[in-house]
Amino acid sequence: MKIIKGILSWVLPVLIGLAIAMLIRHFLFTLVRVDGTSMTPNLQNNERVWVVKPASIHRGSVIVFNADGEDPAVTGTKDYVKRVIGMPGDTVSNKDGVLLVNGKQVDENFISKSEATAGTANWDNLEMLGIKQRWQDTPSVKVPKDQYFVLGDHRSVSNDSRYWGFVQKKKILGVVKVPFWLKNPAKDNINKQWENFYSTEKK
């Protein structure tokens, strides 16, 4: 009996600790690794970031989602990290390198001009996607209910909504946060860019 009590005295705390860790990972937050360069310069390849699951999603939020069923090239579970540009009901367009949401210019000071425009110009690929998806035959799209339009910060290398469409809400795992103790100079571009999403400059 003493042996059993002795075993339980250290087994139970371990089991409880594991259960708590699993609950936190499932409902609150988890750690993910950035795979690729589509979010440079703000997130680097192989950088580890926290994903907060209950956090609210805004225009400008950086999210992690399961690309299976979103990107046709993905089979099986694969997490993508992208920035939300269009919320449900928003209209997204781009002309001559100027990104517009609901007709208002987006503040893109968190990336360089070349990262925003190189290889994307007037988003001809978005126009082709619009034809394929039976959207309006122009490089302008309206985001459906419970879906999001996402882009990588490095537009010329990012595989995102311009190519395969929207992200369903149910596919989103959470919002990326760079913790205060990590020395990422672009921390505010990830955690706070949504607070100043629209540009104050005139088009």
Active site residues: 38, 82
Tokens for 21, please give them: 């860790």
Integer angstrom CA distances of residue 95 from 124, 132, 139: 10, 20, 8
Strand-pairing partners, residue 106, are: 198
Q: Are 38 and 120 in contact, with CB atoms under 8 Å apart?
A: no
Q: Closest by alpha carbon to 57, among 141, 177, 142?
A: 177
d(CA 41, CA 111) in angstroms, rounded, equals: 7
